[in-house]
Each structure stands twice: as C-alpha cells, then as structure tokens.
Structure 1
Amino acid sequence: MDIRSLRYFVGIAESRTLTEASIRLHIVQPALSQRLSDLEKSLQTQLVVRSRAGTALTPAGAELYDSAKRILKQIDIATAAVKEKGGIVEGVLTIGLLRSMASLLSVRLFTELREAMPGVRPQIRLGYSAELEELLRNGQLDLATLVSEPGLSGGREMAFSEGLRLVGPPSLLDNLARTPRLKDVQGLRLLISPMQPAYALVMKLAAQQGLELDVMGGIEDVMSILELCRAGMGATILTSFGANWAAGRHDLDVLPLAEVGLTRHLRVAMQHDTHRSAAVLVAESILGRLLGDVLHQDCAPEPAEVVRVHA
C-alpha cells in the first residue's frame, strides 16, 4: 500500500463507477481496476463491491477511506509546509462556508483568495454547522465558518455575532415599530423552515416567553421564502446574511429585531494540532475581513453586530 494507491482508492470511493473514477484520476480503467485488485490482495480483504448500479464500499473499504483521507491530508500539509520554506505557496485550500453565507461570501472569497495567492486552488464547500465541524475534525477542511455558543471559540479564532431580521412586504409590516420585539410578530403569518438558522433561536425564545407564533410552514431556500413574502403570503425571520438578499428592494421591508437572545454566534475555525500553512493563515484573514464587512453593513441596534477576538 503506497501513496498513489491510496489516492486512487479515494478517487474510486468518491466516484459512482470505476469509469467515472478513471476519468477523474486520468488513468485507464483496466489499470485502475488492477490497482484496486492489488490493494485488496495486499490487505487480504474486499474494499469495493461492484454492481450494475455502480460501486459501493464495504465496511473495510469505508474504514480505509476515512483513514486514507486523513493520511493524504497530512501529506499535503507536510508538502505545503516544506515548499513554503522555499517561498512557494500553492496547492488546494478547502474552506467550509455555512449555507446562509454562500450568496454573499462565496464568490468574493474565491476571487480574493485567487488574487492573493495565484498558486492556490480554492475549493469552497457549503454545509450546515454540524457537518462542517465534522469535516474539519476529519481533516477534510482546512478552515470553516461554524455556529458556536458565545465565548466558546478557541484562543486564536475569530468570533462574530449577527442579529435576526424580520422581512416581509410593507403591507404586513407597516404597523410595526421599526425595531420590533418578538412579541410584536405574534399576529403575523410567518414563513420559517426548521432548516433555516434563525428557526431554533426564534422558537426557543418564543417558548421561553410563552408566545404563540403563527408559523404557516417554510422552505429551506431563502430565495423561495422571499418570493412567498413578495407575494404577500407572510413574513419571515432571517439572519443578517439571509436578510441581505432582501436589502435594497422596495417591495420588502427589513426590520432588525430588538430582542436580547436573538443573536447567532459564529466563528472561523481551523484544524487543531496541525501545521497552519501560509495559505490557511491568509485565507483566515480574508474570510474574517469579509465576514466583518458584511456584518458591519447590517445595522442592528444592540448587541453590536461584530465582535472580533484575536490571540
């Protein structure tokens, strides 16, 4: 079992068929099949099951896949660290962004990373906080934005907070204060999906205050929710990032909720106990600045929109 065999195996594991894997890995299929057969013989166990539906990992194959990913990531980190000593910054940089941030950050982040480090190939992955944290822990991400409890970020991690916004057509929100509280929205028809980041915060605080909110249902996709709001079907509650979709539109009002407890806390996290390459440190700086820029544009009264924590 050598490094090339591990790379080939990871390619097979992440593809639906050997044909797809051979194209991805730039190796003819018979040679790839032979590599897989040799690897299985050396380990004396079957790693992949082939069928008409494609390929699937056996339990042993799944175990090797997880280990191989970590091993190859460490090799890539070591290679990058050595090259940095010679003044070369290159390679793949994998960053996890929360889904709610994608529309405002992903293109800007990719562009600035390429401008700052032309030799680096950014790969930006979207997900929810729990899955991004797991990917970070398993070595599949170099850097990630995560939801956290206030004050629980690591010693050198950047931390931020963002308030929630009530978004809806003026016809529904005109009679509300410009900084409403949660009790003020009891009479509104609300469109909120449990998959949206604001949902848990809103429902928890409503339960604590004994409020009964009129939740009609929801759609995970923010743009779809906003379309329903524009049609006058109801209002929604979004994080600052989500509300920025609606900012500047004349057909929707965006009101900051002036409520203690309706704040989402975020952090920029890196892998622990690994070499922090120049590329990762530059990416952390760029991501932190972009987060600060976006959240500073959003003007909530209290608490302060951005709290930055440095080592």
Structure 2
Amino acid sequence: MDIKQLRALVTVAETGNVTRAAALLNIVQPAVSRQLRLLEEDIGAVLFDRGRHGMRLTEAGQTLVEYARRVLNEIDRARAEIQPSRGTVGGIVTIGLLPSTCDLLSSALVRSVAERYPGIRIRMSMGYAGTLQAWLEAGEIDAALLYDPKQTPSIQVQPLLEEGLWVVGLPAHGLKKDQPVSLVQLAGQPLILPSAPHGLRSLVEHAATLMELQLTVVAETNAMSVQKSLVLGGHGLTILPTIAVVDDLARGILTAAPLAEPTLMRKIVLAVPANRHTTTPVRCVVEILVESMKDTVHRGDWLGARWLGD
C-alpha cells in the first residue's frame, strides 16, 4: 500500500468514475485501475462494485476510504508545515466551531490568520459539541470549541467563557435585553427547541423538571438555522445564546431577553488532543481564536457572556 494507491482510491470514490479520476490525478486510466487492483490485492478485499453506472464503494471500501482521507490529510499538513514559505509559519490547521459561534468568529479568525500567518491554510469544520469531540479524538480536526465536556484522557480543555441562554422571538413578542423572562412565563408558550440529547435541550428540560413545569415543544430540530427559521415563520419562541442571533437582533428581525429564574449558563472551552503533539501552526491559530473571543466578550458583542480565561 502506498500514497498513490490511496489517492487513487479516494479520487475514484469521490468521482465514481475511473476516467474522471484519471483526469484529476493527471495519469492514464489504466494506471488508476492498476493502483486499485494492487490495493485490493494488498487489503484482500474488493473495494468497489464495478457496474455500468460507475464505481460504487463496497462496505470494505467505505471503511478504507475514511482511513485513507485521514492519512492523506495528515501528509498534506506535514508537507505544508515542513516546507512553508521562507520566514513564515506554515501548515494546514483544521478548527472545529460550534454552530452558534461560526457567524461571529469565522470571518475575524480567517482575516487575522491571513494577516499574521499567511503561510497557514485554515480549515473550519462546524458541528455540535458531541460531533466535534468525536472528530477531535479521531484526529480529523486539530482543536475545537466545546461545551464543557466530561473529563476524558484523550483531550485537554481550557475554559474560555460562560454564556447565558436567552429567549428569542419575533419583534411582536416584545422581548427586551433588560427585562428577563422566567421559565414559568414560558410554560404553555409554543417552543422550538433542539432535539434531545442536545446539551441546550437537556439544560432546559432539567430546569423545567426541577420546577415541575410542563413545556410545550411544538417543533424539534438539530439545526440551529431551522430553529431561527421557525421562529421567523411565527411558530413560537426558542432558547439560544445571543451569539447565535447577534446579526438578527441588530437587524431588528428578532428580539431576545435573558432567561432567568433560573438563569441557565453554558461554559465554552477550547479543546485540543492530549495524545498528539500540538504543532506551531495549530498553536498560532488557537491563540488568535482565543484572542478574538476575548475581544468579542470585552466589547460587549457577546451578550450574556463572562470571560473565564486569562
């Protein structure tokens, strides 16, 4: 098994066609077919179902493709770090961001990295906390923002901030940032919440159980964009950190008020692998990410947030 064979495998899997893969790899079609044949002989399993409609991965092929992508990504990162532009820090850095943080942080992060470290190529992956932690442990991302995960030997975390949860609705709901809303006031109101076992849903339901309240959940979704869309469509209220709706609040299409009695807080931490070396490019990007978050909190753009870091 060698790198050429793995590249052939991944390219054919993505294109579904040996001819198109050969064009992308800039080699002749028989060479691609030979690479696949040698790989199948080495693995001892058929990797593709070859039919009139193209090349489809077998179960064994799907498993190997996942590992092959990781191998190729690691090699690309190593090559970029070892051979950066002269006098610069270089490499590929993949950062995992929570959906609620992407809009506010991604642009500033890309801009600052480009200005300070032009040799670094940054990749951003968005996912919920559980997904990001799995990617981090599998080596698919270099660092991630998480919601205060359980202690595990595979990752190390640095607390960054605490953020409060807010009730979000249409302008007609009359929500104001200086007029907190209690959970009791939400009883009987139509609510749009994340699907279980999302951390925000767990926080809200636990608080409601302690207060012996029955919440009316009219819709559940695992996509924050759908949560906001349903609120904009007049289907009910939702509960989110304000960073998730900062642009909507500024435009006046949504209103929000802090959730109180009880006040529900979530802690955001920076997580990096504990069992892998943190490279210089990763440290540089992480430093910029933390600086950007700190500045956002201190400027007051992250409503309801309290900085915990240094």
TM-score by length of 2: 0.81
Residues in 1 aligned to 2:112 and 2:254: alpha-carbon distance in whole angstroms: 31
Residues in 2 aligned to 1:175 and 1:81: alpha-carbon distance in whole angstroms: 49
- Give the match for residue 254 of structure 2: 252
Residues in 2 aligned to 1:267 and 1:129: alpha-carbon distance in whole angstroms: 10
Q: 1:94 to 1:56 in 2, by over 3 A?
A: farther
Residues in 2 aligned to 1:151 and 1:67: alpha-carbon distance in whole angstroms: 27
Q: 1:56 to 1:144 in 2, by over 3 A?
A: farther
Amino acid at match of 2:116: A
- Give the match for residue 160 of structure 1: 161
1:132-175: per-residue Cα shift (whole Å, max 9, x none)? 22221121111222222488896563433211011123443469
Amino acid at match of 2:145: T
Which aligned pairs between 1:31-50 and structure 2 lie closer than 5 A?
31-50=31-50
Amino acid at match of 1:113: V
- Give the match for residue 297 of structure 1: 301
Structure (1/2) with the larger strand percentage: 2
Shift of 1:281: 0.4
Q: Residue 202 of structure 1 is aligned with which of 201, 204, 216?
A: 204
Which shows bigger deviation, 149-158 or 281-290? Answer: 149-158
Unaligned runs of 5+ in 2: none
- Given that residues 157 and 272 in structure 2 are in contact (C-alpha distance below 8 angstroms), is that contact kept between their aligned partners in structure 1? no
Q: 1:12 to 1:151 in 2, by over 3 A?
A: same
Amino acid at match of 2:163: E
Residues in 1 aligned to 2:102 and 2:134: alpha-carbon distance in whole angstroms: 19
- Give the match for residue 241 of structure 1: 243
> SS at the partner of 2:97?
strand
1:48-79: per-residue Cα shift (whole Å, max 9, x none)? 33335544433443443344445445545554
Residues in 2 aligned to 1:22 and 1:3: alpha-carbon distance in whole angstroms: 15
Residues in 2 aligned to 1:47 and 1:74: alpha-carbon distance in whole angstroms: 22
Residues in 1 aligned to 2:111 and 2:51: alpha-carbon distance in whole angstroms: 41
- Given that residues 173 and 255 in structure 2 are in contact (C-alpha distance below 8 angstroms), is that contact kept between their aligned partners in structure 1? no
- Give the match for residue 65 of structure 2: 65
- Give the match for residue 272 of structure 1: 274
Q: 1:30 to 1:119 in 2, by over 3 A?
A: farther
> SS at the partner of 2:308?
coil
> SS at the partner of 1:246?
helix
> SS at the partner of 1:146?
strand
Residues in 2 aligned to 1:133 and 1:294: alpha-carbon distance in whole angstroms: 24
Shift of 1:191: 2.3
Amino acid at match of 2:121: R
Residues in 2 aligned to 1:144 and 1:23: alpha-carbon distance in whole angstroms: 36
Which shows bigger deviation, 34-43 or 274-283? Answer: 34-43
Shift of 1:2: 1.9
- Give the match for residue 265 of structure 2: 263
Which shows bigger deviation, 128-137 or 277-286? Answer: 128-137
Residues in 1 aligned to 2:188 and 2:21: alpha-carbon distance in whole angstroms: 55
- Given that residues 181 and 259 in structure 2 are in contact (C-alpha distance below 8 angstroms), is that contact kept between their aligned partners in structure 1? yes
Which shows bigger deviation, 16-25 or 229-238? Answer: 16-25
TM-score by length of 1: 0.81
> Over aligned residue pairs, what C-alpha RMSD do you find?
3.4
Count of equivalent residues? 306
Structure 1 residue 148 corresponds to structure 2 residue 148: yes
- Given that residues 157 and 267 in structure 1 are in contact (C-alpha distance below 8 angstroms), is that contact kept between their aligned partners in structure 2? yes
1:61-100: per-residue Cα shift (whole Å, max 9, x none)? 344334444544554555456457x855223221221222
Residues in 1 aligned to 2:157 and 2:130: alpha-carbon distance in whole angstroms: 21
Amino acid at match of 1:289: E
Structure 1 residue 9 corresponds to structure 2 residue 36: no
Which shows bigger deviation, 111-120 or 17-26? Answer: 17-26
Q: 1:25 to 1:147 in 2, by over 3 A?
A: farther
- Give the match for residue 184 of structure 1: 185
Unaligned runs of 5+ in 1: none
Residues in 1 aligned to 2:171 and 2:43: alpha-carbon distance in whole angstroms: 66
Shift of 1:280: 0.1
